[in-house]
Copies of this chain bind each other. A is one copy, B any other.
Amino acid sequence: MAQLLVLYNQPADPAAFDRYYFETHVPLAKKIPGVRSYVVNSGPANMVTGSISPHLIAEVEFDSMEALQAAMASPEGQAAAADVANFAQAGVTLLVFETRRL
């Protein structure tokens, strides 16, 4: 499997961020081909220790890195990626990796 891990920084207006994210961005992201699972934090992400304290965490799984790359290059992937600029002005970290179950 492969995963897209998205960590959104704390927005200036969390309620507006959440409204846009769930009403507009999620429907766009769910159109991306090959998404096997899409998980977000419900409630706050509490930082126990460390250097970042994201507002929203999204974990999107694909069958493979090839499927992930094809998905991101698709028109639906490009539309979802372009939409991020509409609500993530506070910054976002996007990490991509193959996964292994221990």
**Is A48 touching B95 in the complex (CB atoms < 8 A)?**
yes
Number of identical protomers: 2
Is A82 an interface residue, CB under 8 A from the partner?
Answer: no
Asked if residues B49 and A52 are in contact (CB atoms below 8 Å), the reply is: no
Given A52-B52, A57-B5, A59-B59, A47 and B100 contact (CB-CB distance below 8 Å): no
Interface string of A36-78 (1 = CB under 8 A from B): 0111111111111111111001010000000000000000000
Count A-side interface residues using an 8 Å CB cutoff: 37
Q: Closest B-chain residue to A27, C-beta based?
A: B102
Q: Identify A41's interface contact among B26, B30, B97, CB under 8 A.
A: B97
- A residues with CB within 8 A of B: 3, 5, 7, 26, 30, 37-54, 57, 59, 91-102
- 6 more contacts with CB within 8 A, not counting A46-B97, A49-B94, A51-B93, are A3-B39, A7-B50, A30-B102, A39-B100, A52-B93, A59-B59
